């Protein structure tokens, strides 16, 4: 019996030596993806051995994993057996969507240079002989020249000093006191990545920079429209709508702050700083800045610079004096989340020609070639979220997330291993790639003949899953067209960046795929359908929610904030609609 | 016929050469005080000739006015006739209370160094080729490195830029944009002196520093108690009370701002900065800082330093991004209004030994001797406001404000010349002084025999005015005692300061009497009753609302703010209750 520890999922338990790591995972309810059923050829159950001894790589592993991966301890869980207690890192792409929350991402690995620091203060009680005022008393006890005290902190100052018997811990932001607590208070920071569809929140220790808790939730603005354009329209329609769209976010974030604090038995009033990132429209809706100019050419943001504002100004319930810092935007459709992603992936420091791509309803792409950074934004649409797809759905239990044609059968992996109820974005990508590989689709995306292709009320469709007493789950010709449009927008964005630098796609040394969705996709499928350029697989790196990581970096380090500012200023911007021969190029990019 | 111009009252009109200036004043409804009925011996109708020719001083004037006064153009209006068009300055103490609003004070005569300045900005409209964000566009057009834009200004930025066709005027406070208006907007400042009883408000042009309008009103907190102690008690009792006490002030100030702006056909949204002064308790109630510690020894203020906060934080309705600046406090009972008074009177720069005194329900006194400044606060009580006095009333129409025993009769001046209904503070001071001078009161304040002294239900009282069908207006023995307590507190404060410097009262070279009430009093009467030390009259200077002037100075000049900070830091403080042998000394100070 060995102890097996799956991180960062945080599941630990005893397993016998005749159980593969995949068996262990199943026993401990760690939902590893496994398309092939454990025969070692689907490559989805990849894990990284951090410590402990395991069996040697099998021939299947040597065929599927690169040399560099093997050197780093990457293994296929279905092929590997523990030989001692082991600790495993499970990369987010190996988890089924239920456990791959949108919070997974790169590690935060910079030394903290926190914008807010805690200082212990021991005051002397005033007397008639030394009737020193509370503010002067406080600054003297800290031993700093008097700065400012947040107005609402002032309002609580005299009571807190007396309740805490003149011993306090002061949260200092530059020269401003933003909170006062008991001695030894652990001051917290909140980092939030607000996506169009999902929100990822992180609670950090402001002193150590460590992530203490994280949580994902849906963006409640979805009730006003699935894409940002519908929300821009809604918000521009009335003041009430604009207020409601903001309130939905601030209420969700206040709840998020409370939930995260509850996890570590703390209080939101100990959160003394927040960093929020999102695309430009979300950023503007969150601050209740007018979004109408974002919805029409030339797509002008009100604010490009970073913003610092008191959390209470927009009703976010954290410490009374806490600030929210919003990273800068770059353009109307290249926002603070893109800046955060660039910060986390360190693309600005890359010496190799590097492409970073955050795939979503709106896809932002950045190319760094020789220190010259340029970004582009593509309206890839909501097909990846399951919208406008006949059986489309979001990544939820029962969604088909991976599909493979084996010679004799259709292999299907659903989220949570449940009976299939629909298909999510990564599944759609796989299906179209497999249909193309098996010539069910031609280069134009036209569906040919096949035993599983049928005509349904004049519409051609491919039957994925027959279900008793229910319509089968199918992929229609129209669904394929939707995906073609989405992937064409992304490919065209990549091409525009490459061409602007006088390069070809083959010159790209590294492709960083960020964002929750990008983490779920099968890169080979994305290459097969022509969404991503055909480069050796080892050039691709799936990094999870990099925007969330960027937000965390900016939360705990002032020099990371400065870097973000430099990135936003340095990053050039191409307006895709202004690319010459856009329509012809777009048509070409739809080819599979 | 000559044109006579009374300033700063602002009344102008034609008068004939056989009308005295007093007659002219009456004709133009300028309510000069005249106790003697125009025979030149009450000295109350003093005016200053600014320009134009008038008749030579009479013997009466040479007897009443000092040589220095005559040299400065001071004359008795009843003795003087115009010989050409003339322009007169009416000192506030020469006006009856109706026209002596609490806004009169020293002139604002420093070069403006405004904290907020207007900058014209001409932006280029963005295009698809230069899709520049509104904030970056704005800063570029100003030609300054990007600073911050107030959050609520950001929210209006994009609409305003487009509505104003990309031409705007920006109100810049340091590196922060606090308002945006049409080109050529006149940005305004609001200075407010909040007294325990009355509020004085001033509207200034932020660029020129000129006072454009002023207005006095009652402090609506009076419904929670006439003195600050009752308001401290009320505010400490419940959160609702504290909120209400603050709301009463902010609503009154918002209305004041609106009224002042209406006078000059402007809008409160053009007020981009406010300075507020008040005593420490009022300061704390205004900011909703806890006042309980102010109400008990050792009387600790929460905040001593100056405070800058967004006006919207406390609901003051001026420009969205405007700040309120509150001058620093000195101690629990020596507040920002005292600092403002010291600033306006320039006592810190005085080379002579100078005493500055602001008489009110609470009286603050400061002595500067050889550059060493010390202040004291005395609880003089509400007798001067008419409280606890049988026929006491505030300075309002019908209040007896001045009284003189002539050999054969009692001369009485009421406010507005109306039938007497009661007696206000300055009247009370005069009565007691006159009764003492005519030996109706002895040194201890005991009322002796006199044809007008009577016993009423066992209480001894002096009949001031017989009224048909009504009780006569009287001054009772108890009223005299109340005044003795009030004046003793003040005199003791003066003595404490003088003794602390190793001086005697005779060493005081100049006494500056500030505040609306101090301006109304007859200095000779105050000396007679022993409230003020017996010094030559020319050493006294009545300056009106100096706190309001100090607020205006701080409003339009950053270096005046710095000076106020220095004053607050430099000014020492004596706790009167801690003076040795306080009780014995207090008893002695009650002697008339």
pTM of the model: 0.81
Cα–Cα dist B116/B148, whole Å: 14
Q: What is the pLDDT of residue A414?
A: 87
Same domain, A85 and A10: yes
For position A28, which CATH number holds?
3.10.20.30
Helix, strand or coil for residue A156?
Answer: helix
Best A132, A289, A326 residue to mutate vs chain B (most B CBs within 10 Å):
A289
**Over residues B307-335, mean pLDDT:** 96
Same domain, A376 and A387: no
How many domains, chain B? Answer: 1
Best A127, A128, A131, A578 residue to mutate vs chain B (most B CBs within 10 Å):
A131
The number of residues in chain A equals 592
Q: Are A270 and A261 in contact (CB under 8 A)?
A: yes
CB contact under 8 A, A133 and B309: no
Q: What is the pLDDT of residue B100?
A: 52
> Which pair of tokens denotes residue A183?
């001695």
In this predicted structure, the answer to whether residue B145 has a pLDDT above a threshold of 70 is yes
In this predicted structure, the answer to whether residue B449 has a pLDDT above a threshold of 80 is yes
In this predicted structure, the answer to whether residue B242 has a pLDDT above a threshold of 70 is yes
**Over residues B25-45, mean pLDDT:** 78
- B293 → closest Cβ in A158, A304, A577: A158
What sign has the CA pseudo-torsion A397, A400, A401, A402? positive
Query: What value does the mean pLDDT of chain B take?
Result: 90
- CA-to-CA separations, B487 to B399, B400, B444, B490, B530, in angstroms, rounded: 21, 19, 13, 5, 7
> Which pair of tokens denotes residue A66?
């690169």
Same domain, A446 and A572: no
Q: Are A302 and A309 in contact (CB under 8 A)?
A: no
Comparing alpha-carbon positions, the chain B residue that sits nearest to A236 is: B159
Tell me the pLDDT tens digit for each residue of B188-209: 999 999 988 789 999 999 999 9
Residue B149 contacts A where some CB pair is shorter than 8 Å: yes
DSSP B353: -
Cα–Cα dist B325/B556, whole Å: 11
Distant-in-sequence, close-in-space partners of A547: CB < 8 Å, separation ≥ 6 = A105, A193, A195, A200, A277, A337, A338, A340, A341, A344, A358, A514, A515
Cα–Cα dist B288/B301, whole Å: 12
- A126 → closest Cβ in B149, B287, B298: B298
Comparing alpha-carbon positions, the chain A residue that sits nearest to B284 is: A155
Tell me the pLDDT tens digit for each residue of B60-119: 899 888 888 899 999 999 999 999 999 998 876 777 665 455 666 677 788 999 999 999
3-state helix, strand, coil in chain B (%, to 5): 35, 30, 35
Closest CA to A589 of A497, A482, A481, A488: A488
DSSP sequence for B198-228: EEEEEEEETTT--EEEEEEEE-GGGGG-SSH
Q: How far is A126 from chain B (nearest CA, A)?
A: 7
In a domain, B108, yes or no: no
Helix, strand or coil for residue A541?
Answer: strand
Q: What is the pLDDT of residue B307?
A: 96
Question: In chain A, what residues touch B309 (CB-CB under 8 Å)?
Answer: 151
In a domain, B6, yes or no: yes
- CA-to-CA separations, B26 to B4, B21, B30, B88, B96, in angstroms, rounded: 12, 9, 6, 14, 12
Cβ-based contacts under 8 A for chains A and B = 124
A 468-487 near B (Cβ less than 8 A): none
Q: Is A370 left (phi over 0), alpha (psi -120 to 50) or beta?
A: left
Question: In chain B, what residues touch A303 (CB-CB under 8 Å)?
Answer: 133-135, 149, 154, 157
Q: How far is B92 from chain A (nearest CA, A)?
A: 36
CB contact under 8 A, A133 and B578: no
Q: How far is A561 from chain B (nearest CA, A)?
A: 16
CB contact under 8 A, B289 and A155: yes
In a domain, B39, yes or no: yes
Same domain, A369 and A493: yes
Tell me the pLDDT tens digit for each residue of A161-220: 999 999 999 999 999 999 999 999 999 999 999 988 789 999 999 999 999 999 888 788
Question: In chain B, what residues touch A313 (CB-CB under 8 Å)?
Answer: 151
CB contact under 8 A, A149 and B303: yes
Cβ neighbours of A470 (radius 10 Å): 9
CB contact under 8 A, A303 and B159: no
Q: Which residues of chain A have pLDDT under 50?
A: 99
Same domain, A373 and A393: no
Q: What is the pLDDT of residue B98?
A: 53
Closest CA to B98 of B216, B219, B221, B262: B216
In a domain, B347, yes or no: no
Question: In chain B, what residues touch A146 (CB-CB under 8 Å)?
Answer: 305
A420 is in which domain, residue-wise?
A: 383-477
Q: What is the pLDDT of residue B391?
A: 87
Q: What is the pLDDT of residue A104?
A: 65
**Over residues B329-345, mean pLDDT:** 94
The number of residues in chain B equals 592
Q: How far is A132 from chain B (nearest CA, A)?
A: 7
In a domain, B278, yes or no: no
Distance of CA B550 to the CA centre of its chain: 10
CB contact under 8 A, B136 and A305: yes
**CA torsion, ordered A32, A38, A41, A43, to nearest 10 deg:** 10
Comparing alpha-carbon positions, the chain B residue that sits nearest to A314 is: B151
Distant-in-sequence, close-in-space partners of A13: CB < 8 Å, separation ≥ 6 = A3, A4, A24, A27, A28
CB contact under 8 A, B151 and A303: no
Q: What is the pLDDT of residue B42?
A: 73
Q: Terminal CA-to-CA distance of chain A, rounded, Å?
A: 50
Residue B315 contacts A where some CB pair is shorter than 8 Å: no
Same domain, A583 and A490: yes
Q: Are A4 and A90 in contact (CB under 8 A)?
A: no
Q: What is the pLDDT of residue A431?
A: 95
Tell me the pLDDT tens digit for each residue of B258-290: 999 999 999 999 999 999 999 999 999 999 999
Cα–Cα dist A278/A194, whole Å: 5
In a domain, B121, yes or no: no
Best B236, B283, B290 residue to mutate vs chain A (most A CBs within 10 Å):
B290
Question: In chain B, what residues touch A577 (CB-CB under 8 Å)?
Answer: 128
Same domain, A431 and A522: no
Q: Are B506 and B539 in contact (CB under 8 A)?
A: no
Question: In chain B, what residues touch A300 (CB-CB under 8 Å)?
Answer: 126, 131-134, 158
Same domain, A430 and A524: no
Q: How far is A577 from chain B (nearest CA, A)?
A: 10
- B309 → closest Cβ in A135, A151, A289: A151
In a domain, A207, yes or no: no
CB contact under 8 A, B300 and A131: yes
Cα–Cα dist A390/A457, whole Å: 14
Q: How far is B174 from chain A (nearest CA, A)?
A: 16
CB contact under 8 A, A131 and B299: yes
Cα–Cα dist A478/A496, whole Å: 27
Q: How far is A290 from chain B (nearest CA, A)?
A: 6
* Residue B337 parent element (H or E): helix B336-345
**Over residues B365-393, mean pLDDT:** 87
Residue A126 contacts B where some CB pair is shorter than 8 Å: yes
- B575 → closest Cβ in A131, A135, A288: A131
Residue B134 contacts A where some CB pair is shorter than 8 Å: yes
Same domain, A515 and A389: no
- CA-to-CA separations, A52 to A8, A75, A143, in angstroms, rounded: 17, 13, 50
Q: What is the pLDDT of residue B192?
A: 97
Give phi and psi for B452, each to the nearest 5: -95, 0
CB contact under 8 A, B154 and A300: no
Count of CA atoms in the C-beta half-sphere (13 A) of A490: 29
Q: Is the ipTM of this complex over 0.85?
A: no
Residue B582 contacts A where some CB pair is shorter than 8 Å: no
Q: What is the pLDDT of residue A103?
A: 62
Same domain, A402 and A376: no
Cα–Cα dist B158/B126, whole Å: 12
Distant-in-sequence, close-in-space partners of B25: CB < 8 Å, separation ≥ 6 = B6, B31, B32, B45, B77, B90
Q: Are B163 and B70 in contact (CB under 8 A)?
A: no
Q: What is the pLDDT of residue B339?
A: 97
Comparing alpha-carbon positions, the chain A residue that sits nearest to B243 is: A155
Task: Choose the final residue of a domain: A90, A120, A136.
Answer: A90
Same domain, A489 and A583: yes
Helix, strand or coil for residue B77?
Answer: helix
Residue B332 contacts A where some CB pair is shorter than 8 Å: yes
Place of tokens 């407010």: B192
Q: What is the pLDDT of residue B400?
A: 92
Q: Are A104 and A92 in contact (CB under 8 A)?
A: yes
High-pLDDT (> 70) share of chain A, %: 97
Q: How far is B434 from chain A (nearest CA, A)?
A: 40
Which one has a higher pLDDT value, B290 or B582? B290
B 559-578 near A (Cβ less than 8 A): 573, 575, 577-578
Q: How far is A218 from chain B (nearest CA, A)?
A: 26
B 270-299 near A (Cβ less than 8 A): 287-290, 292-293, 297-299
Cα–Cα dist B219/B431, whole Å: 28
In a domain, B269, yes or no: no
Question: In chain A, what residues touch B287 (CB-CB under 8 Å)?
Answer: 151, 154-155
Same domain, A495 and A585: yes
């Amino acid at each position: 019996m060995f102890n097996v520890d799956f991180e960062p999922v945080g599941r630990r338990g005893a397993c016998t030596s005749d159980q593969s790591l995949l068996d262990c995972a199943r026993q401990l309810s760690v939902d590893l993806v496994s398309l092939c059923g454990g025969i070692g050829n689907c490559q989805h159950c990849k894990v990284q051995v951090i410590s402990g001894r395991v069996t040697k790589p099998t021939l299947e592993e040597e065929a599927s994993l690169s040399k560099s991966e093997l050197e780093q301890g990457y293994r296929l869980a279905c092929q590997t057996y523990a030989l001692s207690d082991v600790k495993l890192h499970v990369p987010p792409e190996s988890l089924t969507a239920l456990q791959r929350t949108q919070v997974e991402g790169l590690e935060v690995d910079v030394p903290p240079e926190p914008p807010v620091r805690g200082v212990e203060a021991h005051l002397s009680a005033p007397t008639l002989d030394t009737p020193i005022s509370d503010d002067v008393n406080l600054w003297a006890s800290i031993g700093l020249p008097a700065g400012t005290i947040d107005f609402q902190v002032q309002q609580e100052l005299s009571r807190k000093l007396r309740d805490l018997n003149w011993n306090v811990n002061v949260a200092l932001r530059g020269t401003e006191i933003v909170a006062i607590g008991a001695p030894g208070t652990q001051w917290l920071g909140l980092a939030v990545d607000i996506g169009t569809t999902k929100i990822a929140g992180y609670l950090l220790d402001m002193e150590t920079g460590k992530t203490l808790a994280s949580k994902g939730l849906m963006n409640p603005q979805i009730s006003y429209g699935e894409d940002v354009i519908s929300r821009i329209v809604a918000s521009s329609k009335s003041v009430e709508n604009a207020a409601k769209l903001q309130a939905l976010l601030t209420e969700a974030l206040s709840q998020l702050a409370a939930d995260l604090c509850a996890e570590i038995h703390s209080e939101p009033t100990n959160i003394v700083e927040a960093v929020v990132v999102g695309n430009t429209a979300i950023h503007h809706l969150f601050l209740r800045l007018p979004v109408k100019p974002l919805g029409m050419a030339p797509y002008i943001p009100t604010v490009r610079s970073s913003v610092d504002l008191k959390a209470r100004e927009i009703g976010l319930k954290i410490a009374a004096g806490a600030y929210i810092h919003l990273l800068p935007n770059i353009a109307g459709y290249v926002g603070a989340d893109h800046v955060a992603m660039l910060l986390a992936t360190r693309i600005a420091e890359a010496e190799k020609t590097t492409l970073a791509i955050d795939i979503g309803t709106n896809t932002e792409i950045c190319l760094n070639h020789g220190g010259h950074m340029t970004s582009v934004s593509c309206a890839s649409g909501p097909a990846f979220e399951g919208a406008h797809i006949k059986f489309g759905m979001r990544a939820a239990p029962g969604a088909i997330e991976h599909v493979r044609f084996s010679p004799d059968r259709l292999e299907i992996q659903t989220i949570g291993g449940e009976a299939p109820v629909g298909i999510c974005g990564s599944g759609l990508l796989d299906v179209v790639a497999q249909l193309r590989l098996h010539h069910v689709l031609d280069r134009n995306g036209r569906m040919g003949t096949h035993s599983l292709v049928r005509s349904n009320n004049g519409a051609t469709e491919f039957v994925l899953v027959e279900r008793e007493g229910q319509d089968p789950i199918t992929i229609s010709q129209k669904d394929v067209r939707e995906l073609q449009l989405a992937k064409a927008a992304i490919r065209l964005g990549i091409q525009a960046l490459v061409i602007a630098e006088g390069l070809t796609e083959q010159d790209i040394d590294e492709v960083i795929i960020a964002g929750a969705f990008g983490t779920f996709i099968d890169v080979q499928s994305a290459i097969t359908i022509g969404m991503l350029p055909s480069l050796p697989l080892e050039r691709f790196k799936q990094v999870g929610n990099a925007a969330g990581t960027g937000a965390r970096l900016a939360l705990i380090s002032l020099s990371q904030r400065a870097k973000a500012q430099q990135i936003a200023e340095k990053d050039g911007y191409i307006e895709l609609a202004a690319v010459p021969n856009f329509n012809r190029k777009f048509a070409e990019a739809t080819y599979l």
